């Protein structure tokens, strides 16, 4: 969708997303099985980022044109309320518990590293 410019920044792009590389997710899962206590662990990178911050570099990393920016109403019409909220109002997650209790550290501590590696 990003390559086809069908994944725009909606509104101010203020929704904060957290990312994780699949290898980091697998490593954290092994740690949870071997050492984890019952509960929930957020397995994400160290740098939650606003859509407006991460989407243009992602497009660049995959060789796509810069994403469009559309008003919130257009985002709501195209993706519904949930999609519009994800792009404008969500908050990222903290990996502090997974790091502390599992002894886990992401190999890709930032979405910037993961995007570069994937490209």
Question: What is the chain's percent helix, strand, coil content, to nearest 5?
Answer: 50, 5, 45
Other C-beta atoms lying within 10 Å of the C-beta of residue 64: 17
Output the pTM of the full model: 0.88
Cα distance between residue 58 and residue 19, in whole Å: 12
What is the pLDDT, as a whole number, of residue 119? 74
For the chain, the domains span: 9-118
* The dihedral formed by the CA atoms of 54, 93, 84 and 6, expressed in degrees to the nearest 10: 30
Q: What is the CATH number of domain 9-118?
A: 3.40.50.720
What SS3 class is residue 17? Answer: strand
Q: What is the pLDDT of residues 32-78, one digit of tens each?
A: 999 999 999 999 999 999 999 999 999 999 999 999 999 999 999 99
């Amino acid at each position: 969708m990003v390559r086809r410019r069908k994944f725009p920044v909606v509104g101010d792009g203020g929704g904060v997303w957290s990312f994780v590389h699949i290898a980091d997710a697998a490593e954290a899962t092994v740690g949870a099985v071997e050492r984890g206590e019952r509960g929930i662990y957020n397995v994400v990178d160290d740098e939650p980022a606003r859509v407006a911050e991460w989407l243009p570099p992602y497009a660049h990393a995959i060789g796509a044109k810069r994403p469009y920016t559309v008003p919130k109403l257009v985002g709501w019409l195209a993706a519904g309320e949930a999609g519009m909220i994800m792009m404008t109002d969500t908050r990222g997650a903290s990996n502090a518990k997974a790091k502390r209790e599992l002894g886990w550290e992401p190999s890709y501590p930032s979405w910037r590293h993961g995007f570069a590696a994937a490209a």
